[in-house]
């Protein structure tokens, strides 16, 4: 089975801090994704990556950046955390190509910005 | 642009009764459609997908979904609900070409009443 591991289940940070959320997958997937989940809004895509050192903006990239130096690891960075970035963050990975490969999700990081 | 609507925030069904969770979509061209389930404090788990072919697709845990192109719908169904089906359900869509960006609905909380 594919395993997507997010480094922290719960995280509390202060306004203005630089925050790193880490995600690792063990199935050699090319595609990796970062979402945030908010009640009533569903999942919204922040950034995604098709390959090492490649990244594309999703629907809500403002205030975030990403890093993918190795195929298995995709990091989400909050450059200067703000209270409106308090949310559940979900990482996912998938194989590329035809046929609509499903995304596999980690268990999420619940981030609180105080 | 692509979008998904899940018109019901909450669906309650008695155990043993059939259940339906509704989803309509909008996408350029032909769609790839997905259903995911989320249990408390967990990430999303893939249930089933429609790519092409038979309009009725079967997935995990006895769930199935019916693709209706004319109504742009992809409703999730199960003939006999179990209490363990209680969870948050997400519908998602993407185009069948180009980038693999998924757009999710806002989610429907399904509660099965014993």
In tens, the pLDDT along B27-75 reads: 988 889 999 999 998 899 999 999 988 899 999 999 999 999 999 999 9
Instruction: Indicate if the alpha-carbon torsion angle A16, A111, A3, B87 is positive or negative.
Output: negative
If you average pLDDT over residues B21-32, what whole number do you get?
A: 93
Residue B14 resides in a domain: yes
Residue B40 resides in a domain: yes
Q: What is the reported pLDDT for A22?
A: 97
Residue ranges and CATH numbers for the domains of chain A are: 4-113 (2.60.40.10)
Q: How many CB atoms sit inside 10 A of residue A7's CB?
A: 15
Q: Which domain holds residue B82?
A: 3-106
Residues in B closer than 8 angstroms to A33, CB to CB, are 102
CA of A97 vs chain B CAs: smallest distance (Å): 9
CA of B32 vs chain A CAs: smallest distance (Å): 6
Residue B17 resides in a domain: yes
Q: Which letter, b or e, does each residue of A26-64 get, where b requires 16 or more Cβ atoms within 10 Å of its Cβ?
A: eeebbbbbbbbbeeeebbebbbbbeeeeebeebeeeeeb
Please report, rounded to a whole number, the percentage of residues in chain B having pLDDT higher than 70.
Answer: 100
Residue B112 resides in a domain: no
Separation of alpha carbons B41 and A37, rounded Å? 12
Separation of alpha carbons B80 and A67, rounded Å? 45
Residue B11 resides in a domain: yes
Cβ(A14)–Cβ(A61) under 8 Å?
A: no
Closest CA to A94 of A59, A61, A60, A45: A45
Instruction: Indicate if the alpha-carbon torsion angle A47, A49, A50, A54 is positive or negative.
Output: positive
Residue B101 has pLDDT above 90, yes or no: no
Asked whether the beta carbons of residue A100 and residue B104 sit closer than 8 angstroms, the reply is: no
Look-up: residue for tokens 């499903």? Answer: A102
Q: What is the reported pLDDT for B70?
A: 94
Closest CA to A106 of A25, A29, A51, A12: A25
pLDDT per residue, tens digit, chain A (114 aa), is 669 999 899 999 999 999 999 999 998 999 999 999 999 899 999 999 999 989 999 999 999 999 999 999 999 999 999 999 999 999 999 988 766 788 999 999 999 999
Asked whether the beta carbons of residue B101 and residue A100 sit closer than 8 angstroms, the reply is: no
Number of independent structural domains in chain B: 1
User: Which CATH number covers residue B57?
Assistant: 2.60.40.10
């Amino acid at each position: 089975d594919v395993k997507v591991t997010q480094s922290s289940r719960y995280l509390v940070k202060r306004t203005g801090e630089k925050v790193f959320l880490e995600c690792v997958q063990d199935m050699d997937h090319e595609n990796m994704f970062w979402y945030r989940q908010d009640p009533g809004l569903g999942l919204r895509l922040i950034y995604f990556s098709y390959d090492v050192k490649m990244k594309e903006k999703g629907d809500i990239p403002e205030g975030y950046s990403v890093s993918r130096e190795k195929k298995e690891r995709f990091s989400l960075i909050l450059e200067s955390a703000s209270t409106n970035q308090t949310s559940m963050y979900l990482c996912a990975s998938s194989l590329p190509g035809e046929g609509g490969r499903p995304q596999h999700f980690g268990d999420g990081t619940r981030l609180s910005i105080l | 642009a692509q979008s998904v609507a899940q018109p019901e925030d909450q669906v309650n069904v008695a155990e043993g009764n059939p259940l339906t969770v509704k989803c309509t979509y909008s996408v350029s061209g032909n769609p790839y459609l997905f259903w995911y389930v989320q249990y408390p404090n967990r990430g999303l788990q893939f249930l089933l997908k429609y790519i092409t072919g038979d309009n009725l697709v079967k997935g995990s845990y006895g769930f199935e979904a019916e693709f209706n192109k004319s109504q742009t719908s992809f409703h999730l169904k199960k003939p006999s609900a179990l209490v363990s089906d209680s969870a948050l359900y997400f519908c998602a869509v993407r185009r069948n070409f180009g980038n693999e960006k998924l757009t999710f609905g806002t989610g429907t909380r399904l509660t099965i009443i014993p």
